[in-house]
A and B are shown apart, each in its own frame.
Chain A
Amino acid sequence: EDKVVQSPLSLVVHEGDTVTLNCSYEVTNFRSLLWYKQEKKAPTFLFMLTSSGIEKKSGRLSSILDKKELFSILNITATQTGDSAIYLCSTAGGTSYGKLTFGQGTILTVHP
């Protein structure tokens, strides 16, 4: 059974801090790892990672995948209150294309 584990489960920081969110996985026939941000309601897509060592970047957010050690990190620099959200890590793998397995999520709270 595929498994995705995120840590920490919750994190409280102040504006301007840098945070690192972790995601480890055990997936048969791994194809990709995806990060989502969930504010209030619907998760919104952030990054898709398929290759080791290649950083994906969008503004203050960046992510990298290590397929040898089976983990990914999501970094957020110079955090803002608008970064407060649940960050979900998911993986695509197995024999059924299209299915994602999600981790529990990390709840990030950024105080002014």
Chain B
Amino acid sequence: DADVTQTPRNRITKTGKRIMLECSQTKGHDRMYWYRQDPGLGLRLIYYSFDVKDINKGEISDGYSVSRQAQAKFSLSLESAIPNQTALYFCATSDPGLAGVEAQYFGPGTRLTVL
């Protein structure tokens, strides 16, 4: 079984709809992240959480919200989807390890299309 899972894997929705993307992990990591990927722009951080009570905005949080329901679960919501939120969304996890030095492990991604 995959360590980081995302549901759904693909989603097509209409402008104005509320959408939730879910992420679960079995790695036991405290830290979880949501990114979006657009062609030519690499990965951009939307929100991140270092533990259940800690939620932080990333560089492109406008139009998104998150919920950390448990150590293993981190969901991303689009309150009112718009077409420029069409992208590939990744969840990632990490473990502190050496202070400040840590690799992130990514889920398989969710391809979201907003019409």
Interface residues of A (CB under 8 A from B): 4, 6, 9, 31-32, 34, 36, 41-45, 48, 50, 88, 90, 92, 96-105
Looking at chain A's contact residues, is the secondary structure mostly helix, strand, loop, or mixed? strand
Task: Specify which chain A residues have a CB less than 8 angstroms from the CB of B64 in the assembled complex.
Answer: none
Distance between Cα atoms of A87 and B109 in the complex (Å): 17
Closest to B105 in A: A45
Which of A31, A32, A43 lies in contact with B90, CB distance below 8 A? A43
B106 near A97 with CB under 8 A, answer no
B90 near A34 with CB under 8 A, answer no
A104 near B42 with CB under 8 A, answer yes
User: 17 A-B residue contacts at CB 8 Å?
Assistant: A34-B103, A41-B109, A42-B90, A42-B107, A43-B90, A45-B103, A48-B103, A88-B43, A97-B99, A97-B100, A98-B48, A98-B50, A98-B96, A98-B102, A99-B45, A100-B43, A104-B42
Distance between Cα atoms of A92 and B44 in the complex (Å): 14
A104 near B41 with CB under 8 A, answer yes
